[in-house]
Copies of this chain bind each other. A is one copy, B any other.
Amino acid sequence: MVVGEASSPSTPLTNNCSIIDAQKGDPLAFGSYWKQMNDECTLVIKGWELMSYYSDLSNMCWYMLPELKDAIERIHHLVGNAVTKDRYIVVGNGSSQLFQASLFALSPLDVPDHPVNVVAAAPYYSEYKSAINILHSRMFQWGGDAAVYDKNEPYIEMVTSPNNPDGTLREPVVNSVAEGKFIYDLAYYWPQFTPITHKADDDVMLFTFSKCTGHAGSRIGWAIVKDIEVAKKMATFVQSSSMGVSKESQTRAAKIIGVICDGYQNLKSKESELFFEYSKRLMKERWEKLGEAVEQSMVFGVVKYPNAYCNFTNEISETYPSFAWLKCEEGKENGHNYLRKLNISSREGERFGADSKFVRVSMLGMDDDFNELVKRLSSVKIE
């Protein structure tokens, strides 16, 4: 089990200090914002409320609460990161479930002995491969690195933009004459991580509450889909695999997203910092600290990101990915092992289809953990 790898957080390896878990992508950093908010973010549900399976029988996504649909459309309209007009929204138990749902919706059913290849350009999100392999499906199979895909067979390309693990903006890369379909994983296309350069308008786009606001425990994801037949198939998959999505989480997501949007709409900014300002400032400060630490250590290099004009903040803006994708400088061959000696748990480059020089480190841990992370990165030298 993936998380099992990091399941002994209290066992010190060296230096008699506890392990910093930077392996997982738990977005705890934004908790500080929600902690200083008042009761408007508090969810209250009475014992008899939200008991039915059903939310809206007039919608093909019958389990989706109308207020969540409204909130999703509202925040995309506010941020300007995706087109929602005349599109279909399908809610899922996190974008993980919608990833599988979209594979089911897009895979051809008429060629059961030729599962479609699902590819993503390396370095790719480490969980795509395992989420596909565990299903042992007749409809699709993991096809590896999209950049070297050269089969003359239909394929589905995952386009993760900004990319996990390396934060770069992505476009499709497969060079094949075969028919391709595309799933855009836009989990990180929010202004705290990257400049919003355009309204995304792709066939199937996946988003998640986890990365937008930091509420990973809620397991709320959504897809924005052009073709109603694809959207219907996705909703049927969610019905079949979990008979819908937790209503408690749906109503909480609607409330939290509503509070963010209200803040901008009511221009409360003079009183208190608005969510994307706060979260972007936090990411900026962390990236500055990390940059200094990495420079000081002389062990790792970090990707340089181009600046771009952000349509949401109306200024030239930098990129602050949720992960640091570190590359060992010459002489060090294994980033993961190096960090282990510093009692920093990270995710190995190999898991993302890259080599062992690379390692992924979360930028979204708690304040204390993050500060300890940069301290260890900068001060300890190991030969």
Chain A interface residues (CB < 8 Å from chain B):
1-4, 6-7, 9, 24, 26-28, 30-32, 34-35, 37, 41-48, 50-54, 57-58, 60, 62, 92-94, 96-97, 100, 104, 109, 112, 127, 130-131, 134-139, 210, 214-220, 232, 235-237, 239-249, 252, 256, 259
Contacts and interface: CB of A to CB of B under 8 A. Distances in A.
A34 B48 contact: yes
Given A54-B26, A137-B135, A232-B1, A47 B34 contact: yes
A41 to B, nearest CB: 3
A240 B126 CA distance: 11
A139 B58 CA distance: 36
A239 B1 contact: yes
Number of copies: 2
Given A26-B54, A57-B9, A43 B248 contact: yes
A111 to B, nearest CB: 11
A57 B7 contact: yes
B97 A242 contact: yes
A31 B7 contact: no
B96 A240 contact: yes
Contacts of A43: 43-45, 248
Contacts of A41: 46-48
Contacts of A256: 47
A237 B52 contact: no
A243 B130 CA distance: 12
Contacts of A9: 57
Contacts of A240: 96, 127, 130-131, 134
A171 B27 CA distance: 46
Contacts of A4: 60, 62
A247 B232 contact: no
Contact of A246 (B3, B46, B246): B246
Contacts of A220: 246
A210 B215 CA distance: 25
Contacts of A52: 26, 28, 216-217
Contact of A218 (B30, B138, B247): B247
A2 B239 contact: yes
Contacts of A243: 94, 96, 216, 219
